[in-house]
Structure 1
Amino acid sequence: MNSMPENFPDTGAGCADRHYLIRSEAEGDDIELRVGSIEGLPSVYITEESDVVEDVLIVVDGMQAPGNYPALRASTVYTIYKVIGDLEAEVACIHCKALLKDKGSRQHYVVSVGRAYLPKVQILDAWREGVPVSWRDLDPVYGYPWISACMSLASPFNWRQTLVTGLVVLDVAGLRTEDDLYCHLGEALFGYRGYAGSNLAAFEDVLRHNEPARITFSIPDEAEFDAFLARTTRRSGHAGVFKQIIGEAGAALRIERRSA
């Protein structure tokens, strides 16, 4: 079974001082720009379901571009990636509105931001640098970015990861949100950077790709577990579906103390 790498491999020499890639999304435009740094992107998590953030001032420094493409073009959509080891992690998707100033290696732009994943990239950076951080140490707002960072590592292997245990105890004590539950599941199943999905469908998909017959889930207190999922998801039947998925995926479920 393939497993995700414990360390992020080094990139080639050509990327050593260019930590970002900017790719045009314009049809027929295969331009790729290498950039030293980008300042000013929103620190909040912005997904495709979120509202676009308009009129953001960003600074692009150290752009390495072909002579016929010295700057980002107005009215063009770009996706920005950060190079972390051999991983290209998406940072943001922007729509360039205007180049305000081009001086030396620094270019100031006004852009709109349709997607932004800076917290996820910060987590990947921390892992790369060996920072001893856990999702439990962070504000709950980092729950989904943590899951997304884990997903970035598991995705190239079609969710296949190395099991660290065959018994996962679903004790919800200390868990604050639904994201916390999936962080706990990923860590319990596959270790520190393990990915177990972020919703029921993704959880089932991960289970099915990782020898579910070897896995037993244990619920110490069914009433407490059911109440936690009802509260965090605001869906009274969510816990029942969760337990059903475990069985349908081929894993075992053991309930120590059943609801009255």
Structure 2
Amino acid sequence: MRNFTTTLHKKKPWAKALLSIGGGASNSSAFAAIAANPSLRATFIASTINVARNYGFDGLDLDWEFPATQQDMSNLATLFAEWRTAVNKESVTSSRPRRPRLLLSAAVYFASNFFLSSTPRAFPAESINKNLDFVNVMCYDYHGSWDTSATGAHALLYDRTSNISTSYGVGSWISAGVGPRKVVMGLPLYGRTWQLKDPAVHGIGAPAVGVGPGAGGVLTFREIVDFNGRNKATTVYDADTISTYSFAGNAWIGYDGVWSVRGKVQYAKARGLASIAWNS
């Protein structure tokens, strides 16, 4: 990790490195236990700061997927507040000359609230806006292998038929009180695939009978480019949803291509967002 941060710090202009803790395969219950207990919160906070400084990181990111109850969300708000107090104090008292404060961020659900869940809950937007430098909003995985009945644009910007879209999700964060300049819009560097029921019917929402190529119906962007080239796939940019898909035979892939990325970047600029982030 020290080699990683040192390499980034040699870049001109200076590039910053954040250590992300958690992820999709991490133990959500462990995070819940930490956030609920004052002693465990203090231990976690001190440990993360120590690791960040030892390896030269410029900040810390929490990727808790996901708080399961509103009480978890309340505890998360407390964790963020105590974390911010601790990094503020550490930057002032740890050494001379004063070191820049460690940045704090979090990876979060595409919307500020889990409106699709049987357990409705909302992220602590006030605490996030006050204590974090930014949030990485997961604007992808709207559709996938859990629904093989129809193709889906898994990271579409607009959806006229539902609120499952990036525009709705980003808007919900801003409406909840998180400033646009603290919102980073996540984009996927991978696609999700389906097997078409009828190769002649191949639009978004076309009938499907299962996942297509790739492990679990997922292809990296490089694999998509290779697949499209090998199979002479037809590539379609859908201007209504701001998404891209390709098809060849009965294989269908939904992903972000050049034009859909451009559309999303334009949207991010128009909304005054902090940035975009790639997720692989």
Q: Same fold (TM over 0.5)?
A: no
Q: Which structure features the higher share of strand residues?
A: 1
| TM-score computed with the length of structure 2 as normaliser | 0.28
| TM-score computed with the length of structure 1 as normaliser | 0.29
Q: Which structure features the higher share of helix residues?
A: 2
